[in-house]
Structure formats: structure tokens, C-alpha cells
């Protein structure tokens, strides 16, 4: 057992160096889609796909989940994830109302105490 300790220490050092060299990678959307589609195909296991594409199996599972959730948006009219339309007329009306109130209050302040609302 004592003979194996230096060998185990060397293996530990190699693992640490391998992990230290690995930097955070950003994958393109095309690559993610390719991996997710391969996972959806079911021809290979997650471990096989992870080795083939050099990504973690949990990452493949996440991309597969995202693909299945968003796939309906491609063929639908997009109402599921679309934001509700903004009523520009109502917003413009509110801006006009607030502008009138500010002008009125500014005039009242200058009449009452000679104060200015402008800073």
C-alpha cells in the first residue's frame, strides 16, 4: 500500500491540472441544437453523447429540456410566450395628463410663494 501512495498522489495532481486547465466554454446555438436533437433521437445514451460532444450529461439534459419546451413556439403563432401588446394610446394619454398636472403645480408654486419647481 505504501508503494501506491506516490502513484495516487501523481494521479491526483494530474486530475487537478486537468481540471485547472478547463476554462468555461460558450457553445453556439447551432451546437446546442445539434446536441439536443441527437439526445432526442434516442440512438445513443447520455454518456455516449457526452463523450462524443465533450459536454457534461447534465448539460445535454438541460438543452434537451429547453428544446422540448420551445419547440411548440416554432410552429405555433407564438402567443404562448409573446408579451401582451402595449397600448400606446393609453400611454400617450397618461403622459399628457402628467405633463398638464406638472405644469399646473409649477404655476401654483410660483404664484403662492415665489418658489420654483425647477431645480
Which tens digits make up the pLDDT trace of 55-74? Answer: 999 999 999 999 988 887 77
Alpha-carbon span 5 to 2, nearest angstrom:
5
In sequence order, the 6+-apart residues with CB closer than 8 A to the CB of 33 are 63, 67
Judge if pTM exceeds 0.75. no
Q: Which of 47, 65, 44 is nearest to 56 (CA)?
A: 47
Q: Cell triple for residue 13?
A: 495532481
Give the 3-state secondary structure of residue 92.
helix
Which tens digits make up the pLDDT trace of 86-112? Answer: 889 999 999 999 999 999 998 888 888
Confidence label for 77 from pLDDT (cuts 50, 70 and 90): low
53 close to 35: Cβ distance less than 8 angstroms: yes
Amino acid at each position: 500500500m505504501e508503494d501506491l501512495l506516490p502513484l495516487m498522489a501523481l494521479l491526483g495532481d494530474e486530475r487537478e491540472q486537468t481540471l485547472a486547465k478547463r476554462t468555461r466554454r460558450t457553445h453556439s446555438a447551432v451546437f446546442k441544437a445539434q446536441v439536443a436533437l441527437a439526445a432526442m433521437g434516442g440512438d445513443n445514451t447520455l454518456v455516449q453523447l457526452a463523450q462524443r460532444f465533450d459536454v457534461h450529461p447534465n448539460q445535454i439534459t438541460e438543452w434537451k429540456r429547453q428544446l422540448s419546451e420551445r419547440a411548440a413556439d416554432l410552429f405555433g403563432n407564438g402567443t404562448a410566450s409573446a408579451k401582451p401588446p402595449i397600448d400606446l394610446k393609453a400611454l400617450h394619454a397618461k403622459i399628457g395628463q402628467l405633463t398638464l398636472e406638472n405644469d399646473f403645480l409649477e404655476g401654483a408654486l410660483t404664484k403662492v410663494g415665489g418658489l420654483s419647481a425647477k431645480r
